[in-house]
Amino acid sequence: MSYIFYLDKATSMSKMMKMRKKYSLLFLLILILGTPVVFGQEILTAAKYFDSISSGYGSIKDYTARITITTKKSEMKGTLFYKTPNLLRINFSEPKDQVINVNGQTLIIYIPNQNVVMEQELKKHNNTSLAIMANEQGLELLKQGYSVAYLKGPDPVPLDEGSKEMVRKLNLVWRKTDEGYRQIIMSISADGMIRRMKGITINYETFQYDFTNIRINQNLPDVRFQYDPPPSAYMMKNFLFEPGQ
């Protein structure tokens, strides 16, 4: 599901999410999944490798992860919770007490330093999209919208220059200019988990998403995704689109 979620100020967030409405929530939901996948000894093509990653998502019912979102101007950190088909919550530690919550019908973003709540009623097809993007079918949609290749080759490379953490890197390039990002670089750990995704926008802005300490199928209760923002906060309703549109 940009989004995505540069939330330092309510006005900045609203402007950015309007510009990337199509992928503002959906892209984040793709990014946060990391699933162990068993691979064979030989990886023939980048496309088949990508398919192997996709196929590992079918067993996911829920998960938790530490997430870091890095842009040129900010770094956000928090704990992410997801439950199929369309429940999502991020409790941020930086910015402190900031929250993003999707309960299946409504997206809520609480920005404490502005005392603002941004609430969006999700249409039926948005809920369907949320369900699709957060699983094997979601990665298939990425494959439809992007060409897939290795960034430099099939062999593991350092996550960052000088890093001891080794990953395989895939390079996804848009097929059409209406996709959310012109390029996505996906870094995958040796155990088949999505470790990092870096999206480059049409304006060459970079959004980097790092996922660590991922725990799958924790039997998360639905109540985890029930969130009531502070009643004193200023409410902005349907800031992305009108529900009837």
pLDDT at 234: 94
Residue 227 lies in a domain: yes
Whether 169 and 187 have beta carbons less than 8 Å apart is answered as yes
In a domain, 1, yes or no: no
Compute the distance between CA of residue 71 and CA of residue 94 in angstroms, rounded to an integer. 13
pLDDT at site 58: 72
Q: What is the pLDDT of residue 136?
A: 67
Angle, in degrees to the nearest 10, between helices 124-133 and 136-145: 90
pLDDT of residue 113: 93
Residue 244 counted as domain residue: no
Q: Which residues are CB-neighbours of 128 under 8 A, at least 6 positions away? A: none
Domain harbouring 110, CATH code: 2.50.20.10
2 within some domain: no
Inside any domain, residue 77: yes
| CB 64 within 8 Å of CB 214 | yes
242 part of a folded domain: no
How much is the pLDDT for 242? 67
Query: Number of structural domains, the chain?
Result: 1
Supply the Cα-derived Rg of the chain in whole angstroms. 17
Domain limits at 130?
10-237
Residue 19 lies in a domain: yes
Q: How far apart are CA 27 and CA 203, in angstroms?
A: 17
pLDDT mean values, one per 10 residues, the chain (245 residues): 36 46 49 45 76 79 91 94 88 96 91 93 58 62 90 94 95 88 91 87 93 92 94 87 64
Beta bridge mates, 117: 110, 235
